[in-house]
Chains A and B, each alone.
Chain A
């Protein structure tokens, strides 16, 4: 038998909880919703083992609120949901962005719109993650393709959230969330864990310092008197409607993400050197694409594989960099074409972009992708 390291069978949702706890998560608030419920159940069972706390809130909105409240108290907090719940959480997600409160929100995507099919996979919340809450704001969102990557990206989501004082999304889907794979979970000491910066005691404290990209965050209970609000605010957190201060605040929120693109954007590629066709994918669909591209290359076709694990910010530059060397980009996704438009923006007319879409609750198969490759190459 193969000589891979000793592994254990993990479900994607389970790996998400394991990753969260490894990253230091000690608070979860949520509301049951298929196909994310295992995350709540495991968080309820596991968090107390390490002194953490869990609460099942009365609704999705309250869950998001409690997650933010706990983070303000100093906890590393998270929640998980699916489409309908993600919709309900949007207002408070915007609050966390505006008030710069670290937290992680997992959306195990199911088929929508509305109640849709609760048990069927989809990748339909890509744009909702980007623009679901109102107003201009930056977003960080990851889409793992495997159980192990779910663990890794959950750790990374917490780290970035703490470092940048920014809510971070993990866009799982029903396939990856419910799939079980045997994986090796790294030891705690192999992981880099980032904790939010704290203000120095007995020093004047600006929770929203204009001179800094990200200010330290005092926890309530540590004695720093300041205000947190979803209103446009000054450096001390108090409301203002001053247009200069408004512009400065919103620009800084965007800038703190833009200045860390290299650290945030994770992509994977193979077979790109000679590729006249590149398949761009993410999430569970990338698994079918990997098999299809391997089959194509076995048949001598010059096909490349480009997968992005970071949905937002989108890897425009990386795609633009290879677009002029290729003729066609194929974008299979389990929606009506959401990342397709972003790929077109990145390609900017340098190559043809073709979509391959399924929105019937079934995965796109490797055969379907191969067929499409043969058709458009």
Chain B
């Protein structure tokens, strides 16, 4: 159901390569998604897949993870799904450091409903509901780090080998891992903001990205920083709960 030229298939491909490289028993993998273009990935994948309600994927996944800690759970969300309607669940999953792997397909727009502004539409850019320019936007990495996520990384659809690796590293992190995959929507965001076709948008990512470790604010104002933004171990939520409640007797 994705439009031709859509970047979502590229991100999904990265996810599948990462799963293959990690060599996890597929019966121990669950894919949980919200509502939106990216969340439809669940329907294309032959795993145990749970396509939930708009914004609530992380909350569904929290219940699932608590009763099935042995599962590796990928939570696929779009930028509006994760950061607008699902923003509260995002910050609390992050605070808890629950071992979920959030993969945010960020295309800077609401694609499925036809190009409305999201909290990730860059400030001043156009959307059908922001004809005079969008509001101030979020930086997903900053939100993730500030709210307690123990792994936060970003790559674009131009950097697929990097994206594969970041997803793998996120899975290996025992805690809440956020991978922001900057994808693109040529028919929504791209068209409204005259970004050109899919190839032009990929090239734009190529020219405007910089590895986060090389970034200095003075020289790289406005660049997209890719790579691992944050990785710091902390006790994982379900393990902590289990430890605290172990031995509780009637």
Contacts and interface: CB of A to CB of B under 8 A. Distances in A.
A220 B50 CA distance: 9
Contacts of A57: 59, 62, 92
A225 interface: yes
Interface stretch (B24-32, B176-184, B191-199): B24-32
B56 A92 contact: yes
B218 to A, nearest CB: 38
Contacts of A69: 32, 50, 59-65
Chain B contact residues, majority secondary structure: helix
A275 B88 CA distance: 56
Interface stretch (B39-47, B114-122, B221-229): B39-47
Contacts of A92: 53, 56
Interface string A192-228: 0000000000000000000000000001111111111
Interface size class of B (residues with CB under 8 A): 35 or more
Contacts of B70: 221
A65 B52 contact: yes
A2 to B, nearest CB: 30
B51 to A, nearest CB: 4
A230 B46 contact: no
Contact of B250 (A29, A49, A67, A219): A49
Contacts of B28: 221
Contacts of B65: 69
B21 interface: no
B68 interface: yes
B49 A66 contact: no
Contacts of B91: 58
B26 A230 contact: no
Main secondary structure of the interface of A (DSSP, over half): mixed
A98 to B, nearest CB: 10
Interface stretch (B11-19, B149-157, B241-249): B241-249
Contact of B53 (A59, A73, A91, A227): A91
A221 B64 CA distance: 10
Most buried by A among B43, B66, B89, B91: B66
A34 B42 CA distance: 38
Interface in B55-93: 56, 59-68, 70-71, 88-89, 91-92
A239 interface: yes
Contacts of A29: 62-63
A231 B51 CA distance: 9
B63 A70 contact: yes
A339 to B, nearest CB: 30
A238 interface: yes
Contact of B68 (A59, A66, A73, A224): A73
Nearest to A58: B92
Contact of A65 (B46, B56, B66, B67): B56
Interface string A64-83: 01111111111101000000
7 contacts: A27-B63, A66-B62, A221-B27, A222-B27, A225-B48, A227-B50, A229-B50
Give 9 nearest A-B pairs by CB, closest first.
Answer: A69-B63, A223-B27, A66-B63, A65-B59, A48-B245, A70-B63, A62-B59, A73-B67, A69-B60
